[in-house]
């Protein structure tokens, strides 16, 4: 599918990399980039990943085929509420939390909205860290909503396919249940580990090897972004933390009671699954 115009609001890692992918596809006639940071807009123009840019979404013309909100989770609903789009436009986002966003936009906005979550990224952020091919062969989940029809879903699917993604549909509630456990909880654990070491003795980091680096790499991620995510998916993340605490307690009990047999059973089961 070809598009006359796609607007991307938020020119960070995800928004900027999406602009680059769509520009490379040569299937979008005009890409407009929006970012409140004028330097980010200038950089995106200099890199040639957008055709025109501005610093406010409020002044957008309403002629886009698709508007992508690629901001932090905490600002998606506010940005959506400020939009003036035509009846042909479909609005989507890139947030890693879906249920609350979908519910609020369905209840307050009259345009077609389809939720999106590209399963791609790094711990880096900003337009200077965009990655060519970031979405290539990566999964993107799209969430149907009450105010979007089949043609709207097809538009968003086609856009992500142009970026190289494999697209699947999933309900917002199921999405948040899954990603609380496979994405949000690992970040909670990484931030918590580093925090515990800092509280104990910051000099401990001088002795950390590859294991600590591998586990804690994601703790370098944006605090602003992850604070938004943790609060937005609070209900499912708290459930996931309880489940993780139960698992940690099992290992703690085995160590405390010198139960090497059970400890080895737990570790072997995990190791076997990871190697398969």
Identify the pLDDT of residue 122. 78
Average pLDDT over residues 18-32: 97
Inter-CA distances, 84 with 202, 251, 272, Å: 50, 54, 53
Identify the pLDDT of residue 105. 93
Specify the range with the lowest mean pLDDT, choosing from 52-56, 154-158, 184-188, 212-216. Answer: 212-216
Q: CA–CA separation, 74 vs 231, rounded Å?
A: 9
Residue 232, Cβ density class (10 Å: 0-12 exposed, 13-18 middle, ≥19 buried): buried
- Asked whether the beta carbons of 43 and 70 are under 8 A apart, the reply is no
Residue 204 is encoded by which pair of tokens? 């401990």
Share of the chain above pLDDT 70, in %: 99
Q: CA–CA separation, 171 vs 70, rounded Å?
A: 20
Entry pTM? 0.91
Q: CA–CA separation, 79 vs 81, rounded Å?
A: 5
Q: CA–CA separation, 28 vs 162, rounded Å?
A: 9
- Fold for 175-275, please state it: 6-phosphogluconate dehydrogenase C-terminal fold (1.10.3660)
Average pLDDT over residues 190-216: 91
> Domain 3-170 carries which CATH code?
3.40.50.720
Residue 193, Cβ density class (10 Å: 0-12 exposed, 13-18 middle, ≥19 buried): middle
Per residue, the 3-state secondary structure of 60-87, as one string, reads CCCCCCEEEECCCHHHHHHHHHCCCCCC
Q: CA–CA separation, 59 vs 57, rounded Å?
A: 5
Report DSSP letters for 216-276, one per residue. Answer: HGGGGS-HHHHHHHHHHTHHHHHHHHHHHHHHHHHHHHHHHTT-HHHHHHHHHHHHHHHH-
Identify the pLDDT of residue 99. 96
What ranges do the domains of the chain cover?
Answer: 3-170, 175-275
Average pLDDT over residues 108-120: 94
Average pLDDT over residues 146-159: 95
């Amino acid at each position: 599918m070809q598009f006359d115009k796609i607007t991307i609001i938020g020119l960070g890692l995800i928004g900027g990399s999406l602009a680059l992918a769509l520009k490379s596809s040569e299937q979008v006639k005009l890409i407009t980039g929006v970012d409140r940071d004028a330097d980010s807009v200038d950089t995106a123009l200099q890199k040639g990943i957008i055709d025109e840019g501005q610093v406010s979404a409020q002044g957008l013309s309403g002629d886009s085929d698709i508007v992508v909100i690629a901001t932090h989770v905490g600002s998606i609903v506010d940005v959506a509420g400020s939009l003036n789009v035509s009846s042909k436009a479909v609005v989507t986002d890139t947030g890693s939390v879906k249920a609350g966003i979908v519910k609020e936009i369905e209840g307050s906005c009259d345009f077609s909205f389809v939720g999106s979550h590209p399963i791609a990224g790094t711990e880096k952020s900003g337009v200077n860290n965009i990655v060519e091919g970031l979405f290539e062969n990566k999964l993107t989940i799209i969430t149907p909503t009450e105010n979007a029809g089949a043609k709207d879903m097809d538009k968003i699917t086609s856009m992500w396919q142009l970026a190289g993604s494999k697209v699947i549909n999933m309900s917002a509630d199921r999405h948040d249940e899954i990603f609380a456990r496979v994405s949000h909880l690992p970040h909670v654990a990484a931030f918590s580990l580093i925090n515990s070491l800092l509280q104990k003795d910051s000099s401990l980091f001088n002795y950390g090897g590859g294991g600590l680096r591998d586990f804690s790499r994601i703790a370098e991620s944006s605090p602003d972004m992850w604070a938004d995510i943790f609060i937005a998916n609070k209900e499912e993340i708290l459930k996931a933390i309880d489940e993780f605490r139960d698992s940690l307690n099992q290992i703690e009990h085995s160590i405390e009671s010198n139960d090497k047999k059970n400890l080895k059973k737990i570790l072997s089961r995990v190791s076997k699954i990871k190697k398969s």
